[in-house]
Structure 1
Amino acid sequence: MLPHRLLGLLCLFMPCKGEDESESCDNFTDLNLSHCFMGTSLYVRLLLYTRSNLDCGRELNHHHPSSHPLFNISRPTAFVIHGYRPTGAPPIWINHIVHLLAEQEDMNIIVMDWNKGAANLNYFTAVTYTREAAHNLTGFIMIMKEEGAPLSSIHLIGISLGAHLAGFVGANLKGKIGRITGLDPAGPMFTSATPEERLDPSDAMFVDVLHTDMNSFGLKGAHGHIDFYANGGADQPGCPKTIFAGKSYFVCDHQRSVFLYLCALNRTCSLSGYPCSSYSDFLDGRCLQCEAFKPASCPMLGYDFSPWRDTLLRLGQTTVFFSTTTTLPYRKLGYRVDMVTWNQYLRWGVVYIRLHSGRNFTEARIDHKLLRFEQYTSTRLLAQFDEDLQNVQKISLRINTGNVIGPRYKIRLLRIRFTPLEHPERPLMCRFDMIMEENMEVAFRPLPCNSRL
């Protein structure tokens, strides 16, 4: 046996076990377009990450998972399952999701690398491999169960095609695994699929789904105990609207599901979903309460569902909606705006609201449809702002009717009230009895709602 001092000296000149971790890291399979053109055959690798090796994956033996010293059968286990890989390159988000999951709790994080199989120019080929890959992972989980892991401690996180793969695993295990999270489950080849042929709520004890691209690469409908629809579940703000943007035009909306989930795991987004039957009803301000979940708040996208899980299982399938900004941290600040108007002539228009704090301001445009303003009409609006101005000193309001010729008609506001949705501890802001002209901005100082001018 070499003395420790001499062993340390030798390690200065050549790598020693434990000194150069990169020598023994197992990385995600990196392929290129040539592999995709030729086609790849399915080969599944399971890469283990823990708090002890966050930056260095360790490939597990499919038949003896507990043989690896870093794998702890008594810890919960999260499997991360990617989807179709048309270029063969590793997903850019692997390192991020591994680190963020490790922050939630001490767990085994296993990245399912089925890039050989998912990397094919023929999408149909990748779809056919999902069943075989699911059979492979099912066998691994069964061995985990035999070694002492309860199925309830297993969480599958599937992205796109990986969401259906996770569903197949759950179905193979009779829906007894703890949880499946589906991030924008793939739509092509699954639009007319039966529940047995795609992800559905019976595949796990709890299934949560996020939708961001239902009109293209994502799947329409509700497929979990709770389905989150970001910006209605289709077009995402900031994503290109024309094909001239290149690759981003095709993948931006679909990939947004991963970035929203990462932001939620990082606890910087606080993306609350409001139960509603449709996004249009949500934008109309008809679904701004979460009475069923009290004393908890509205359900939030993310990892910990313990405040809402029992209620969601009792309610059955629940659809919730939220809006986002174009960039991090994605969160919009919402106000319920209640207006009572008294004007002689019927007017139709859209509403622009600005909140001011010193020199800073943020604006909400309520223009998804024309609003009706007439004599003694109560109107409820949802105003969503990109920034959170805590000390609102002034509010500007404009009702744009599009009238560019003829006289400007007056609109009398008997009352306008602003109720903060995400911050119920903040006071309500009101203003009473104002006269304004259509298409003209009026500014006022908000008052406590228990006072009058």
Structure 2
Amino acid sequence: HCFMGTSLYVRLLLYTRSNLDCGRELNHRHPSAQPLFNLSRPTAFVIHGYRPTGAPPIWINHIVQLLVEQEELNVIVVDWNKGAANLNYFTAVTYTRQAALNLTGFIVRMQEEGASLSSVHLIGASLGAHLAGFVGANLKGKIGRITGLDPAGPMFTSATAEERLDPSDAAFVDVLHTDMNSFGLRGAHGHIDFYANGGVDQPGCPKTIFAGKSYFVCDHQRSVFLYLCALNRTCSFTGYPCSSYSDFLQGRCLQCEAFRPASCPVLGYDVSQWKQTLLKLGQTKVFFSTTATLPYRKLSYRVDMVTWNQYLRWGVVYIRLYSGRSSTEARIDHKLLRFEQYTSTRLLAQFDEDLQQVQKISLRISTGNVIGPRYKMRLLRIRLTPLDRPERPVMCRFDVIMEENMEVAFRPLACDSHL
């Protein structure tokens, strides 16, 4: 099929808590003919993307299991593999419009039989994200929600809003980006756009073509695995509103005043806390970083430092946290930092491991000076504020004398209320 091509055929497979192991194929013309299909419940449609070899996505069963754990709902897998399975990607792109018409007709019949459009949630991966957008546009943006997992970029980079997923396609559109510099689509295309690691190269993915297939698909597929992890609640990805990933890494966007009293937006199924705020704000970009492996989550601290050194120095910062025999290090080296007399510096420190009780902290400022004398640097104050764990104490230390390129260790103290 992948060599010869296929004619489009769409199967709709229903899963509920009563039939998780085997999907029931639905009648396109009579949705309620299937007794397990309760139209009074919310319905989530899962839409896969381009399948060049026709192999079924390995994540379908997993996402079905996780979705039904969120609440009592219908999960419908939209199987358009006959159409998506084709070595000619352009043919698969053409079929998205026809598949969208097919799915639109089914949802209209659901509505005629008593379902509410506001209770419909389309979850589309890659090319499936645009297919979901076309369905939403066909229904005049009246469906409840569309979630786009790294919407496909090829053939859509110059597309108008009507030719791709965009915020007008549903009452609420959330998008996750992981591969904007290759198979994913650049830009912002939802009411909220999450950019994992800036939306481009993902940690742990191959950097050279010698890795084979993984080099091409790893970054793109990471969007699905991050979303699965968020649904499973083993991961918690907090997105910080910011104009760019660079500004986020520089610690310029670590507040979420617009969302108070709710917290910052979190990737996942439940958007009730901050949905209305986003609809008022318009399109919002939020950024977060991940590790290379499960559970992908980094532990983030806002670090505020006040230095008092006689000579101007430039360098990068290394911060290590210790708890018993365990330790984890954050390397803040995306740009050289400036340290001079009475300089206040704010940093974002992200650690791969979550140490619950920090007993010791070490700090090193590396200036690259390996020949001349090592200059002393005086740290008037350092304050570490946990961003993802607000219940944990803020840690401080005052008046620390250190030398450039030399590690200094200290035990954290409680911070005074006025700091």
TM range (shorter): over 0.9
Equivalent positions of 1:2-151 (< 5 A) are: 35-151=1-117
Q: Does 1:398 align with 2:326?
A: no
Distance 1:429 1:62 in 2: 59
Equivalent positions of 1:289-328 (< 5 A) are: 289-328=255-294
Of 370, 378, 387, the residue aligned with 2:353 is: 387
Of 324, 335, 338, the residue aligned with 2:301 is: 335
Distance 1:165 1:43 in 2: 14
Q: Does 1:219 align with 2:195?
A: no
Shift of 1:294: 1.2
Shift of 1:296: 1.1
User: 3-state SS of the aligned residue for 1:37?
Assistant: coil
Report the counterpart of residue 261 of structure 1 in structure 2.
227
Shift of 1:451: 9.2
Distance 2:357 2:44 in 1: 42
Give the letter aligned to residue 215 of structure 2.
Y
User: 3-state SS of the aligned residue for 2:331?
Assistant: strand
Give the letter aligned to residue 72 of structure 1.
N
Distance 1:391 1:323 in 2: 22
Distance 2:337 2:376 in 1: 16
Distance 1:408 1:447 in 2: 28
Report the counterpart of residue 22 of structure 1 in structure 2.
none
How many pairs are equivalent?
418
Distance 1:393 1:307 in 2: 34
Q: Does 1:373 align with 2:367?
A: no
Report the counterpart of residue 353 of structure 1 in structure 2.
319
TM-score by length of 1: 0.91
Question: Which consecutive unaligned segments of at least 5 residues does structure 2 have?
Answer: none
Residues 28-64 of structure 1 show CA distances to partners (whole Å, capped at 9, x for unaligned) of xxxxxxx101111111110110100011011111101
Give the letter aligned to residue 203 of structure 1.
D
TM-score by length of 2: 0.99
Distance 1:283 1:163 in 2: 28
Report the counterpart of residue 427 of structure 1 in structure 2.
393
Residues 52-78 of structure 1 show CA distances to partners (whole Å, capped at 9, x for unaligned) of 001101111110110011111111110
Shift of 1:345: 1.3
Give the letter aligned to residue 184 of structure 1.
D
User: 3-state SS of the aligned residue for 1:38?
Assistant: coil
Report the counterpart of residue 199 of structure 2 in structure 1.
233
Shift of 1:100: 0.2
Report the counterpart of residue 157 of structure 2 in structure 1.
191
Of 233, 242, 247, the residue aligned with 2:208 is: 242
Distance 2:98 2:249 in 1: 42
User: 3-state SS of the aligned residue for 2:3?
Assistant: helix
Looking at CA atoms only, which structure, 1 or 2, has the larger radius of gyration? Answer: 1
Residues 291-332 of structure 1 show CA distances to partners (whole Å, capped at 9, x for unaligned) of 111111111000010001110101110100000011111111
Distance 2:315 2:212 in 1: 36
Report the counterpart of residue 28 of structure 1 in structure 2.
none
User: 3-state SS of the aligned residue for 2:397?
Assistant: strand
Give the letter aligned to residue 338 of structure 1.
D
Distance 2:155 2:351 in 1: 38
Give the letter aligned to residue 298 of structure 1.
C
Give the letter aligned to residue 43 of structure 1.
Y
Distance 1:157 1:419 in 2: 35
